[in-house]
Amino acid sequence: MAAPPPTDAKAASPAKDPKLGVPKAEKAELQAGGGSAAEAQKARTVESLNSTLSTYLKTLYEEVEKKYKLGSKQGLAEWLADEQQAPAVDAEILKDGSFSHFANYFTSGTGNAMKPAEAVDGSWPISNYFISSSHNTYLTGNQLASAASVDAYKNVLKRGCRCVEVDVWDGEPPSDSESSSDEEAQKTSGSGVKEKVKKEKKSLRKRLELRFGRKASPPPKETPKAASPPPPAAEQRIAPWRSNSSSRAEPRVLHGYTLTKEMSFREVCQTIRDYAFASSNLPLIVSLEVHTSPAQQEIMVELMKEYWRGMLVDLPLDPSEASEQIKLPTLKDLENKILVKVKRVSHKPIAAAAKPATLQAPAQLTPQQTNESAQSEISSDSEDAGVAPEKPPAPKPKVIDALSKLGVYFGGYHYKGLDVPEANIPTHVFSLSEKTLMEVHETSPAALFKHNKNFFMRAYPKGLRVTSSNLNPAIFWRQGVQIVALNWQRWDGGMMQNEAMFAGTAGWVLKPEGYRGASSGTLPKDAIEHHNLDLSIEFLAGQDIPLPPEEDDPKDFKPYIKVELHVEKPEEGEAEAIPGGGASNKGDYKKKTRTAKTTNPDFGREIVEFKGVKRVTEELTFVRFKVMDDERISDDLAAWACFRLDRLQPGIRMLHLYDSNGVVSKGVLLVRIKKTVSKA
């Protein structure tokens, strides 16, 4: 059994982990995620310039004026075209080319280092896009002991996420007396499934508590019913479920076999209804992980149809198409629609004993593995992985027809290979953990790339990432995977790259031409042109740099800038094992500046250069800037920015920063960027 990554092994608890942030619904649109945060123009302006920035801008103006004569229309146009590589319309804000208008060009946001996103072309079938996606959306912290909250859904939807995940389990009966007859009937029938699961769950919980040193209250099913909370305000109240069986339990949402807390599926449905299109009119995918009984699945269907009425796609757009030949619609066809991803019903006979379905099926634990099992493949998507209890778990409930039919364009299938019949069903989707995907990349690279040009695939973090760390999404985007699910509550390189990919978009980004279904490329290395890169960043000064979480005195702040390039590795194009299995989201090339002082640092025009970087694809290469606090033991992250290479604009630029919790800050860096991309 593989050991967990070092960063996860050292983590103690969410309270002591500065990279974990409880999602907040208030002003979530100013938090990174790839949606509205990048479009908040007011947050991208600079109200005033400190003396250091003003001095440097004056110096730069004199240099540019001497070379281009900004006072003339021709000189202004030449500077914009040559150095800034900016549209001619920018001349309107520069007006007469005086210094005051030159400074206004940068303070107004026009001189932003981030190139504005182009409007998405919605004419392609939906498998031709990358989709901003969340993993275990309901969790507010780590994967083992955090709470579930509807605020987590509000948060990611307001930030531009277009694929959310919901793990659904059987709800608690209204009272012991009402459920006792059902339990007794179940015991006398000889099934004993509930009791068996209870014991396994209890045993695993004990092991989790021993492993992580935390005592938590037992899962809801094992506790006396708590007093009801005060009723919500009338306008927030959820309408009661309309059914003659109102005494039945309702489904709940939680991370099964862990210490995480729960919430009701009804609350999640209401929140999705209210916020699905808060930041984007492009379709929202709801990825269901179903652990509920058939009776509870009926309630799920009832709730989704009730709350998402008018938005839910529950029938093909063209009802004349045969079920297994339904074609994927275009993106434009699905505006303001909710799409359900759910396991598709298989009408084959159920095997007498549960068998491993994928490359990461649960394994029998040995005594030596007992302590490790708490951190083993704890995944929300059991199509590919799951926690391994001491005894084989009860078979997962079969998805009923009524629920399965809601997966009109996203029918989930167990991954058994890329040459099986279901791999050619236009509306199928395979969900694989990062570990399994790396194995497929090594064994069937051409088949993997061909599949992902036409059909959906979803990648999610392996279960060892118990502290909600993220995989490196760029590796999977470069394999053509459309849905790369990330833990949005953690601020690491994975989420920073996600911001760069989707910044200022509506959460769906058209793939590079060679990655689309109409292209003839057989592997990423020949599907898209690769280039060589020379990149130079001159750092002049900074202003209003946010302090790291544990720092409160600007005089003690010693910032330096670390620049990282995330570039395709040679192994990615050659179908070889990727170093580290793609687990790390750190940059492939790293350089840093000298250390400066205070929140208004002077970097003295220091230049950081990357020369002759190979295998660069501009749409799938990322440049990350991290402002670090120089400490004796461990340097803390104070602020950051991340760019897709094709959207990092050259010239004199204001580089706007997010703070360490991913919130737009007033912090800026004045930089001068030179970028040369040439044929390999």
DSSP for 586-621, please give it: S-SEEEE-----SSS-EEEEEEEEEEEEEEE-GGG-
Q: Is the dihedral of CA 668, 21, 434, 519 positive or negative?
A: negative
Cβ partners under 8 Å of residue 575, min gap 6: 441, 442, 445, 446, 523
Q: Which of 152-156, 537-541, 634-638 has the highest mean pLDDT?
A: 537-541
Q: Is the dihedral of CA 293, 262, 375, 435 positive or negative?
A: positive
CB 70 within 8 A of CB 102: yes
Residue in the block written with tokens 């790839």: 34
pLDDT one-digit tens code per residue, 431-440: 999 999 999 9
Q: Which of 231-245, 358-372, 633-647 has the highest mean pLDDT?
A: 633-647
What is the C-alpha to C-alpha distance for residues 161 and 168, in angstroms, rounded to an integer?
20
Q: Which of 5-19, 335-349, 379-393, 477-491 has the highest mean pLDDT?
A: 477-491
Q: What is the pLDDT of residue 356?
A: 35
Residue by residue, DSSP assigns 524-593 as HHHHS--EEEEEEEEEEEEESPPPPTT---GGG--EEEEEEEE---HHHHTT-PPGGGG---S-SEEEE-
**Does residue 184 carry a pLDDT above 80?**
no
Taking Cα atoms as reference points, which of 382, 361, 365, 384 lies closest to residue 373?
365
Q: Which of 115-124, 199-208, 377-386 has the highest mean pLDDT?
A: 115-124
What is the C-alpha to C-alpha distance for residues 504 and 484, in angstroms, rounded to an integer?
18
Number of Cβ within 10 Å of residue 491's Cβ equals 25
Residue type, 36: S
**Does residue 250 carry a pLDDT above 90?**
yes
Q: What is the mean pLDDT of residues 278-286?
A: 95
What is the C-alpha to C-alpha distance for residues 202 and 289, in angstroms, rounded to an integer?
22
Q: Which residue blocks in 24-98 are alpha helix, DSSP H?
A: 51-68, 73-79, 91-94
- Sheet of 636-644: strands edge to edge? 589-592, 559-566, 622-629, 636-644, 651-659, 664-679, 531-543, 602-616
Tell me which of 41-55, 73-87, 272-286, 478-492 is least confident.
41-55
Q: How confident is the model at residue 212 (pLDDT cuts 50, 70, 90)?
A: very low
Q: Where are the beta strands (DSSP E) in 58-161?
A: 129-134
Residue type, 85: Q
The token pair at 12 is 């103690």
Range(s) of the chain covered by CATH 3.20.20.190: 6-30+123-173+193-224+236-490
Number of Cβ within 10 Å of residue 417's Cβ equals 12
Q: What is the pLDDT of residue 575?
A: 73
- The whole-chain average pLDDT of the chain stands at 82
| Measured CA distances, 226 to 24, 172, 220, 253, 638 (Å) | 25, 12, 9, 18, 42
The token pair at 184 is 């007794």
User: Residue 510: beta bridge partners?
Assistant: 129
Q: What is the pLDDT of residue 6?
A: 40
Q: What is the dihedral of CA 102, 107, 108, 109, to 10 degrees?
A: 110
**Does residue 297 carry a pLDDT above 60?**
yes
Class of domain 6-30+123-173+193-224+236-490: alpha beta
Number of Cβ within 10 Å of residue 315's Cβ equals 10
Taking Cα atoms as reference points, which of 592, 598, 500 lies closest to residue 541?
598
Angle among Cα 233, 237, 239 to the nearest 5 degrees reads 155
Q: What is the pLDDT of residue 392?
A: 53
Cβ partners under 8 Å of residue 78, min gap 6: 68
Residue type, 178: E
**Does residue 186 carry a pLDDT above 80?**
no
Q: What is the mean pLDDT of residues 51-74?
A: 96
Cβ partners under 8 Å of residue 424, min gap 6: none
| Measured CA distances, 98 to 75, 93, 95, 104, 471 (Å) | 12, 11, 8, 10, 48
How do beta strands 410-413 and 338-343 pair? parallel
Q: What is the pLDDT of residue 187?
A: 45
Q: How many residues does the chain have?
A: 680
Cβ partners under 8 Å of residue 317, min gap 6: 329, 333
Q: How confident is the model at residue 321 (pLDDT cuts 50, 70, 90)?
A: confident
Phi, psi of 476 (to 5 degrees): -80, -35
Give 144's DSSP letter: T
What is the C-alpha to C-alpha distance for residues 394 and 427, in angstroms, rounded to an integer?
29
Give CA 666 to chain center in angstroms: 25
Phi, psi of 234 (to 5 degrees): -55, -40
Helix (H, G, I), strand (E, B) or coil at 460: strand
Report the chain's C-alpha Rg in angstroms: 26
Residue in the block written with tokens 């909710």: 338
Phi, psi of 651 (to 5 degrees): 100, -165
pLDDT one-digit tens code per residue, 566-596: 999 888 877 788 877 777 778 889 999 999 9
| Measured CA distances, 15 to 173, 176, 467, 642, 673 (Å) | 33, 36, 12, 26, 38
Max Cα distance, the chain (Å): 93
What is the C-alpha to C-alpha distance for residues 542 and 639, in angstroms, rounded to an integer?
12
Q: Which residue blocks in 238-386 are alpha helix, DSSP H?
A: 265-275, 294-307
